[in-house]
Amino acid sequence: MACALVAGLLLAPAFAADDETVAYPAAGTVDGATGLEAWSRIYEVASHPRCANCHTGESDVPMWSGPSYGDEPRQHGMRIRAGESRIGAEHLTCSTCHSYSEIPQTVPHAAPRVGASWQLAPAEAHWFGKSSEFICAQLRDLERNDGRDYLALADHIGHDVILHWAWSPGVGREPAPYSLAEHIMDIHLWGAAGQPCPQD
Ligand code: HEC
Ligand code: HEC
Protein backbone atom coordinates (compact mmCIF):
# COMPACT_ATOMS: atom_id res chain seq x y z
CA MET A 1 0.00 0.00 0.00
CA ALA A 2 2.67 2.45 1.07
CA CYS A 3 4.81 1.35 -1.88
CA ALA A 4 1.99 1.87 -4.37
CA LEU A 5 1.40 5.32 -2.94
CA VAL A 6 5.08 6.19 -3.15
CA ALA A 7 5.35 4.86 -6.70
CA GLY A 8 2.42 7.07 -7.64
CA LEU A 9 4.15 10.09 -6.13
CA LEU A 10 7.37 9.42 -7.97
CA LEU A 11 5.52 9.26 -11.27
CA ALA A 12 3.75 12.56 -10.64
CA PRO A 13 4.87 14.93 -13.41
CA ALA A 14 5.25 18.26 -11.62
CA PHE A 15 8.24 18.62 -9.32
CA ALA A 16 9.01 22.07 -7.95
CA ALA A 17 10.77 23.21 -4.80
CA ASP A 18 7.93 25.39 -3.60
CA ASP A 19 5.06 23.53 -5.16
CA GLU A 20 2.58 23.02 -2.34
CA THR A 21 0.59 20.61 -4.49
CA VAL A 22 3.35 17.98 -4.24
CA ALA A 23 2.25 15.43 -1.66
CA TYR A 24 5.12 14.13 0.42
CA PRO A 25 4.86 10.79 2.24
CA ALA A 26 3.98 11.02 5.94
CA ALA A 27 6.50 9.82 8.53
CA GLY A 28 6.38 6.05 8.96
CA THR A 29 4.63 5.35 5.63
CA VAL A 30 7.75 4.38 3.64
CA ASP A 31 9.47 1.00 4.02
CA GLY A 32 13.17 0.67 4.80
CA ALA A 33 14.20 -0.66 1.38
CA THR A 34 12.55 2.28 -0.40
CA GLY A 35 14.18 4.63 2.11
CA LEU A 36 17.61 3.14 1.42
CA GLU A 37 17.11 3.50 -2.34
CA ALA A 38 16.26 7.16 -1.76
CA TRP A 39 19.40 7.47 0.39
CA SER A 40 21.62 6.07 -2.40
CA ARG A 41 20.31 8.80 -4.75
CA ILE A 42 20.86 11.43 -2.04
CA TYR A 43 24.44 10.20 -1.73
CA GLU A 44 24.96 10.48 -5.50
CA VAL A 45 23.98 14.15 -5.20
CA ALA A 46 25.94 14.93 -2.00
CA SER A 47 29.13 13.33 -3.31
CA HIS A 48 28.87 14.94 -6.75
CA PRO A 49 31.56 17.59 -7.36
CA ARG A 50 28.95 20.37 -7.67
CA CYS A 51 28.06 19.80 -4.00
CA ALA A 52 31.20 18.25 -2.51
CA ASN A 53 33.65 20.88 -3.82
CA CYS A 54 32.21 23.28 -1.19
CA HIS A 55 31.66 20.66 1.55
CA THR A 56 35.31 20.09 2.41
CA GLY A 57 35.12 19.74 6.19
CA GLU A 58 37.86 20.88 8.59
CA SER A 59 39.93 21.95 5.62
CA ASP A 60 39.31 25.57 4.70
CA VAL A 61 40.24 24.91 1.09
CA PRO A 62 37.57 24.49 -1.59
CA MET A 63 38.20 21.76 -4.17
CA TRP A 64 38.32 21.74 -7.92
CA SER A 65 37.03 18.37 -9.11
CA GLY A 66 34.75 16.99 -11.81
CA PRO A 67 34.97 16.59 -15.59
CA SER A 68 35.87 20.22 -16.38
CA TYR A 69 38.87 20.11 -14.00
CA GLY A 70 40.82 17.20 -15.49
CA ASP A 71 41.36 13.69 -14.11
CA GLU A 72 42.56 14.33 -10.57
CA PRO A 73 40.76 16.38 -7.90
CA ARG A 74 42.90 19.28 -6.77
CA GLN A 75 42.73 22.18 -4.37
CA HIS A 76 41.24 25.47 -5.57
CA GLY A 77 43.86 27.37 -7.58
CA MET A 78 45.38 30.71 -6.55
CA ARG A 79 45.93 29.50 -2.94
CA ILE A 80 42.38 30.37 -1.94
CA ARG A 81 41.55 29.78 1.74
CA ALA A 82 38.13 30.22 3.33
CA GLY A 83 39.35 30.78 6.91
CA GLU A 84 37.06 30.40 9.91
CA SER A 85 34.64 32.85 8.34
CA ARG A 86 34.19 30.40 5.44
CA ILE A 87 33.79 33.46 3.17
CA GLY A 88 37.52 34.18 3.00
CA ALA A 89 37.20 37.34 5.17
CA GLU A 90 40.69 36.71 6.66
CA HIS A 91 42.25 36.29 3.21
CA LEU A 92 40.59 37.22 -0.07
CA THR A 93 36.81 37.06 0.03
CA CYS A 94 35.13 34.51 -2.19
CA SER A 95 32.81 37.21 -3.55
CA THR A 96 35.79 39.08 -5.06
CA CYS A 97 35.54 36.59 -7.91
CA HIS A 98 32.29 34.71 -7.23
CA SER A 99 30.08 37.74 -7.73
CA TYR A 100 26.43 38.06 -6.74
CA SER A 101 24.24 37.33 -9.75
CA GLU A 102 21.08 35.36 -10.36
CA ILE A 103 22.17 34.72 -13.94
CA PRO A 104 24.40 31.64 -14.30
CA GLN A 105 27.97 32.18 -15.50
CA THR A 106 28.24 32.22 -19.29
CA VAL A 107 32.03 32.27 -19.63
CA PRO A 108 33.76 28.85 -19.44
CA HIS A 109 36.15 28.55 -16.45
CA ALA A 110 35.14 31.94 -15.03
CA ALA A 111 34.19 31.86 -11.34
CA PRO A 112 30.69 30.43 -10.85
CA ARG A 113 28.20 32.84 -9.30
CA VAL A 114 24.89 32.77 -7.44
CA GLY A 115 22.34 35.21 -6.07
CA ALA A 116 23.81 34.76 -2.58
CA SER A 117 27.11 35.16 -0.75
CA TRP A 118 29.44 32.42 -2.09
CA GLN A 119 31.15 30.56 0.76
CA LEU A 120 32.42 27.22 2.00
CA ALA A 121 30.00 24.90 3.85
CA PRO A 122 30.35 24.41 7.65
CA ALA A 123 33.12 22.04 8.74
CA GLU A 124 30.65 19.52 10.23
CA ALA A 125 29.03 18.97 6.83
CA HIS A 126 32.13 17.25 5.47
CA TRP A 127 31.25 15.37 2.30
CA PHE A 128 34.24 15.63 -0.05
CA GLY A 129 35.82 12.16 -0.38
CA LYS A 130 33.59 10.73 2.37
CA SER A 131 31.68 7.44 2.17
CA SER A 132 27.93 6.98 1.90
CA GLU A 133 27.93 5.66 5.50
CA PHE A 134 29.77 8.73 6.82
CA ILE A 135 27.59 11.32 5.07
CA CYS A 136 24.41 9.45 6.02
CA ALA A 137 25.41 9.40 9.70
CA GLN A 138 26.27 13.12 9.60
CA LEU A 139 23.01 14.16 7.94
CA ARG A 140 20.83 12.42 10.54
CA ASP A 141 22.90 13.55 13.54
CA LEU A 142 21.22 16.63 15.04
CA GLU A 143 24.50 17.60 16.73
CA ARG A 144 26.34 17.73 13.42
CA ASN A 145 23.62 18.97 11.06
CA ASP A 146 22.68 22.22 12.79
CA GLY A 147 19.77 20.60 14.64
CA ARG A 148 17.71 19.78 11.56
CA ASP A 149 15.27 16.86 11.45
CA TYR A 150 14.50 15.56 7.97
CA LEU A 151 11.65 18.01 7.43
CA ALA A 152 13.88 20.96 8.32
CA LEU A 153 16.57 19.52 6.05
CA ALA A 154 14.14 19.27 3.12
CA ASP A 155 12.95 22.81 3.79
CA HIS A 156 16.53 24.11 3.92
CA ILE A 157 17.39 22.44 0.62
CA GLY A 158 14.25 23.88 -0.96
CA HIS A 159 15.11 27.44 0.05
CA ASP A 160 18.92 27.77 0.04
CA VAL A 161 19.80 29.34 -3.33
CA ILE A 162 23.52 28.67 -2.89
CA LEU A 163 22.94 24.94 -3.43
CA HIS A 164 20.34 25.42 -6.17
CA TRP A 165 23.31 26.53 -8.26
CA ALA A 166 24.47 22.89 -8.45
CA TRP A 167 21.60 22.10 -10.83
CA SER A 168 22.21 25.16 -13.03
CA PRO A 169 25.95 25.71 -12.64
CA GLY A 170 26.51 27.69 -15.82
CA VAL A 171 28.40 26.88 -18.96
CA GLY A 172 30.88 23.98 -19.04
CA ARG A 173 30.03 22.43 -15.66
CA GLU A 174 28.22 19.12 -15.20
CA PRO A 175 25.08 19.65 -13.07
CA ALA A 176 24.37 17.54 -9.99
CA PRO A 177 22.32 14.40 -10.82
CA TYR A 178 18.50 14.22 -10.71
CA SER A 179 16.78 17.57 -10.03
CA LEU A 180 16.22 19.80 -7.03
CA ALA A 181 12.59 18.64 -6.77
CA GLU A 182 13.56 14.96 -7.01
CA HIS A 183 16.27 15.51 -4.39
CA ILE A 184 13.75 17.05 -2.00
CA MET A 185 11.37 14.15 -2.61
CA ASP A 186 14.20 11.74 -1.84
CA ILE A 187 14.89 13.51 1.48
CA HIS A 188 11.19 13.02 2.33
CA LEU A 189 11.24 9.35 1.31
CA TRP A 190 14.41 8.72 3.31
CA GLY A 191 13.06 10.64 6.31
CA ALA A 192 9.62 9.03 6.25
CA ALA A 193 11.39 5.66 6.30
CA GLY A 194 13.23 6.68 9.50
CA GLN A 195 16.50 7.91 7.87
CA PRO A 196 18.03 4.45 7.28
CA CYS A 197 21.78 4.25 6.53
CA PRO A 198 23.65 1.42 4.74
CA GLN A 199 25.54 0.53 7.96
CA ASP A 200 22.34 -0.04 10.04
C1 HEC B 1 40.73 35.02 -7.34
C2 HEC B 1 39.40 34.61 -7.74
C3 HEC B 1 38.67 33.61 -6.85
C4 HEC B 1 38.46 33.69 -5.49
C5 HEC B 1 38.87 34.78 -4.53
C6 HEC B 1 37.71 32.50 -5.14
N7 HEC B 1 37.49 31.74 -6.24
FE8 HEC B 1 36.48 29.94 -6.30
N9 HEC B 1 36.79 29.82 -8.32
C10 HEC B 1 37.42 30.77 -9.09
C11 HEC B 1 37.40 30.35 -10.48
C12 HEC B 1 37.98 31.13 -11.67
C13 HEC B 1 36.76 29.09 -10.51
C14 HEC B 1 36.48 28.22 -11.74
C15 HEC B 1 37.75 27.55 -12.24
C16 HEC B 1 37.51 26.69 -13.47
O17 HEC B 1 36.36 26.38 -13.80
O18 HEC B 1 38.49 26.28 -14.08
C19 HEC B 1 36.38 28.79 -9.12
C20 HEC B 1 35.74 27.63 -8.74
C21 HEC B 1 35.37 27.34 -7.45
C22 HEC B 1 34.75 26.13 -7.02
C23 HEC B 1 34.42 24.94 -7.88
C24 HEC B 1 33.04 25.06 -8.44
C25 HEC B 1 32.67 23.82 -9.20
O26 HEC B 1 32.85 23.81 -10.44
O27 HEC B 1 32.23 22.85 -8.61
C28 HEC B 1 34.51 26.23 -5.68
C29 HEC B 1 33.87 25.20 -4.80
C30 HEC B 1 34.99 27.52 -5.27
N31 HEC B 1 35.50 28.18 -6.34
C32 HEC B 1 34.91 27.98 -3.98
C33 HEC B 1 35.46 29.17 -3.54
C34 HEC B 1 35.39 29.65 -2.19
C35 HEC B 1 34.67 28.95 -1.07
C36 HEC B 1 36.08 30.83 -2.14
C37 HEC B 1 36.36 31.71 -0.94
C38 HEC B 1 36.95 31.04 0.19
C39 HEC B 1 36.57 31.08 -3.49
N40 HEC B 1 36.18 30.06 -4.31
C41 HEC B 1 37.32 32.19 -3.85
C42 HEC B 1 37.97 31.96 -8.63
C43 HEC B 1 38.03 32.38 -7.32
C1 HEC C 1 29.12 27.42 -2.91
C2 HEC C 1 29.33 26.43 -1.90
C3 HEC C 1 28.27 25.37 -1.68
C4 HEC C 1 27.81 24.45 -2.60
C5 HEC C 1 28.20 24.36 -4.06
C6 HEC C 1 26.90 23.59 -1.91
N7 HEC C 1 26.79 23.97 -0.60
FE8 HEC C 1 25.66 23.10 0.81
N9 HEC C 1 26.22 24.49 2.17
C10 HEC C 1 27.00 25.59 1.88
C11 HEC C 1 26.95 26.52 3.01
C12 HEC C 1 27.65 27.86 3.09
C13 HEC C 1 26.12 25.93 3.98
C14 HEC C 1 25.72 26.50 5.34
C15 HEC C 1 24.51 27.36 5.13
C16 HEC C 1 23.38 27.02 5.97
O17 HEC C 1 23.37 25.97 6.65
O18 HEC C 1 22.41 27.82 5.94
C19 HEC C 1 25.68 24.66 3.42
C20 HEC C 1 24.87 23.77 4.08
C21 HEC C 1 24.25 22.69 3.50
C22 HEC C 1 23.34 21.78 4.17
C23 HEC C 1 23.00 21.80 5.65
C24 HEC C 1 24.05 20.80 6.15
C25 HEC C 1 24.16 20.52 7.56
O26 HEC C 1 24.22 19.31 7.84
O27 HEC C 1 24.25 21.48 8.36
C28 HEC C 1 22.93 20.87 3.26
C29 HEC C 1 21.98 19.70 3.48
C30 HEC C 1 23.57 21.21 2.00
N31 HEC C 1 24.38 22.31 2.18
C32 HEC C 1 23.36 20.53 0.84
C33 HEC C 1 24.01 20.81 -0.36
C34 HEC C 1 23.76 20.08 -1.59
C35 HEC C 1 22.79 18.92 -1.72
C36 HEC C 1 24.55 20.65 -2.54
C37 HEC C 1 24.61 20.31 -4.01
C38 HEC C 1 23.33 20.11 -4.66
C39 HEC C 1 25.30 21.73 -1.89
N40 HEC C 1 24.95 21.79 -0.58
C41 HEC C 1 26.23 22.54 -2.52
C42 HEC C 1 27.75 25.79 0.75
C43 HEC C 1 27.60 25.07 -0.42
**Predicted local distance difference test score (pLDDT) of residue 9:** 46
Residue 7 lies in a domain: no
Q: Is this structure's pTM higher than 0.75?
A: yes
- 170: Cβ below 6 Å to ligand 1? no
How far apart, in whole angstroms, are the C-alpha atoms of residue 18 and residue 155? Answer: 9
Q: At 21, is the pLDDT very low, low, confident or very high (cuts 50, 70, 90)?
A: confident
How far apart, in whole angstroms, are the C-alpha atoms of residue 31 and residue 7? Answer: 12
Residue 178 lies in a domain: yes
Residue 10 lies in a domain: no
Q: Which residues contact 170 (CB under 8 A, 6 or more apart)?
A: 104, 105, 106, 112, 113
Residue 129: which domain range? Answer: 29-192
- 65: Cβ below 6 Å to ligand 1? no
Task: Report how far ligand 1's centroid is from the alpha carbon of 111 (Å).
Answer: 5
56: left (phi over 0), alpha (psi -120 to 50) or beta: alpha
Mean per-residue pLDDT, 146-173: 97
Residue 4 lies in a domain: no
Residue pLDDT, tens place only, 37-89: 999 999 999 999 999 999 999 999 999 999 999 999 999 999 999 999 999 99
The tally of domains found in the chain comes to 1
Residue 146 lies in a domain: yes
**Predicted local distance difference test score (pLDDT) of residue 13:** 37
Kindly report the average pLDDT of the chain as a whole number.
92
Residue 83 lies in a domain: yes
CA nearest ligand 1 atom 6, residue: 94
**Predicted local distance difference test score (pLDDT) of residue 4:** 43
Residue 22 lies in a domain: no
Residue pLDDT, tens place only, 99-129: 999 999 999 999 999 999 999 999 999 999 9
